[in-house]
Amino acid sequence: MHNGPVGTPKINVAVVGVGYWGRNLVRNFHQLGSLAALCDAEPSVEETYRRQYENVRFVREFDAVLADPSIGAVALATPAVTHYELAKAALEAGKDVLVEKPLSIEVAQGEALVKLAAAKGRILMVGHILRYHPAILKLQELIGDGALGQINYLYSNRLNIGKIRTEENILWSFAPHDISVMLALLNESPTRVSCQGGAYLSRNVFDVTLSHFEFPSGVKAHIFVSWLHPVKEQRLVVVGSEKMAVFDDTAEQKLVLYPHRVEWKNRVPTAVKANGEAVALDDREPLKAECQHFLDCIRSRTSPVSDGAEGLRVLRVLDACQRSLLLAGGSAPEPTALPVEKNEHERPYFVHESAYVDDGAEVGAGTKIWHFSHVMKDARIGERCVIGQNVNVDGGTRLGNNVKIQNNVSIYTGVVIEDDVFLGPSCVLTNVTNPRSQVNRHSLYETTRLKRGCTVGANATILCGVTIGRYAFVGAGSVVTRNVPDFALVVGNPARQVGWMSRHGHRLDSPDADGVMRCPESGHRYRKNDEGVLQCLDLHEEAPLPDELSKGTKSYRQVREEAKS
């Protein structure tokens, strides 16, 4: 089999290390028609592979691979301690390199490999196989489309009773896969990690570890890995505000969504469970997809999904976990801070000289915080937000991206604000139903959630425990005492629904015979489903707006006319 389209040159790959995992690379590169040579120092494997792959050359010395000009790429499946030296030699010899995880065992080594690959103009790819798994690719798509809502928490269990290593601990052997996936799903690196574990079989070689992660967006996660477990388990759980996702690589239905939700009854949170929804996936082997991607990147000279830079990000997280693990001696540690990958002398956001942002608060790039405002420790503010004058953001609150808060608003602990929310001047958000100065009710804070794209008018009051739906509109001066549906227009005291609003902020009137209403600005159609919930028929609720519209440089009519032409 030829490994590319007709007329393209064949890519010859040598697999170095053909043992436990290398044999899988051998099989896939052979099926893709690119396997040119096998390299392993163990004499006993040569005869087996010669019989199985008659036309493939077998060598015992890595130098023979480097010296062969017909071999354009190498795939390294050797012990982690050898990755740096072998990958460095291959890059210097002008070969493209696929190296199994981890990229290396030291951050400095990983940095050197990334720089060397760039200097030599070579492809450097790391074997983070789950980045090519159909379930993970689908999960990335679902999160990007907003199907899970705002992500709150992730955790992964990778457990087995199987191959036990003495040259690397369980953290370095099992956790890179899950770290890679979490960084990809969240599109951010953690700011703090902590790790604890136990070494039971070999001194100082940890067999079990539990790692905790804190991300800039406020998301937290943990990874539990062990090779001393009675049954095999490979499960990733993503907890969102709308749905929860379970990726179980050992199950027949590998990706299942659970639309569970939490309702407040008598000021007590109550779980409302729902049946799981299996997600249809492409039927392809992740490792074959990874190998094909490597060949495609070599042919097109484009950067792989799991390139050296991605491998380096994972390596930095692994290194921080390892330092935390060793400092604590396996017991409960203090969190270890990761270096911030930016110029420490430049803030990516603006703070007016009269405003205060406490140490420990996290503010996203492009956000502006204006006169006399205060952002307290442990507050999390997303990117491109505007915080007006005299605004207080309490610790523990979470604001999404592109949130606009006008003057004289306080965001209290317990308030969750999703992307693209607008809060008018002097609107009031509460977190306790019956506040008393002489009675401490901090433990009774209720969650108030403002969902994506909603608007709260000036001087409106939102009682705690209430959810304002997507793109809903609360009129000025209203007092909201109960949940507001998506796209609903509510006014008055107490607020009552008087109509519907489009995503673009226009009242929807005069449904046609089919119950369809049109937005006068965008032309998009809206209709209630059988459950009475309004839905947009032409645009996914989470789809981004065109840049020109979101920046205000063009009207929606101009954007539509240009798209037609």
Residues 543 and 461 in one domain: yes
As a whole-number percent, the residues of the chain with pLDDT over 90 amount to: 59
Q: Using one digit for the tens of pLDDT, what is the confidence trace for 90-139?
A: 999 999 999 999 999 999 999 999 999 999 999 999 999 999 999 999 99
Tell me: pLDDT of 150 over 50. Answer: yes
Phi, psi of 436 (to 5 degrees): -135, 135
Tell me: pLDDT of 142 over 70. Answer: yes
Residues 473 and 547 in one domain: yes
Q: Is residue 238 part of a domain?
A: yes
Residues 108 and 184 in one domain: no
Q: Is residue 280 part of a domain?
A: yes
Q: What letters, b where the CB count within 10 A reaches 16 and e where it falls short, cover 495-533? A: beeeebbbbbebebeeeeeeeebbbebbebbbebeeeee
Q: Is residue 8 part of a domain?
A: no
Q: Is residue 466 part of a domain?
A: yes
* Residue 344, pLDDT score: 38
Q: Is residue 305 part of a domain?
A: no
Q: Is residue 519 part of a domain?
A: yes
pTM: 0.61
Residues 331 and 389 in one domain: no
Question: In whole angstroms, how large is the CA radius of gyration of the chain?
Answer: 27
Residues 42 and 190 in one domain: no
Identify the sign of the CA torsion 97, 100, 102, 106: negative
Q: Where does the pLDDT of residue 187 fall: very low under 50, low under 70, confident under 90, or very high at 90 and above?
A: confident
Residues 147 and 175 in one domain: yes
Domain housing 112: 13-128+287-300
SS3 label, residue 509: coil
Alpha-carbon gap, residue 143 to 131, rounded angstroms? 15
Q: Is residue 477 part of a domain?
A: yes
Q: Which of 53-67, 163-177, 317-331, 533-547 has the lowest mean pLDDT?
A: 533-547
Instruction: Report yes or no: 503 and 520 within 8 Å, Cβ to Cβ.
Output: no
Alpha-carbon gap, residue 481 to 179, rounded angstroms? 42
Mean pLDDT of 327-346: 57
DSSP readout, 40-103?
A: -S-GGGHHHHHHHSTTSEEES-HHHHHH-TT--EEEE-S-GGGHHHHHHHHHHTT-EEEEESSS
The one-letter code for the residue type at 188 is E
Mean pLDDT of 73-79: 95
Residues 192 and 100 in one domain: no
Cis upstream peptide for 304 (omega within 30°):
no
Residues 328 and 255 in one domain: yes
Residues 449 and 501 in one domain: yes
Residues 53 and 198 in one domain: no
SS3 label, residue 128: coil
CATH number at 37 reads 3.40.50.720
* Residue 122, pLDDT score: 96
* Residue 342, pLDDT score: 44
- Total count of domains within the chain: 3
Q: Is residue 309 part of a domain?
A: no
Residues 98 and 143 in one domain: no
Find how far residue 69's CA is from the centre of its chain.
Answer: 40
Structure tokens at 105: 């065992």
Residues 374 and 332 in one domain: no
Q: What letters, b where the CB count within 10 A reaches 16 and e where it falls short, cover 184-209? A: bbbeebbbbbbbbbebeeeeeebbbb
Mean pLDDT of the chain: 87
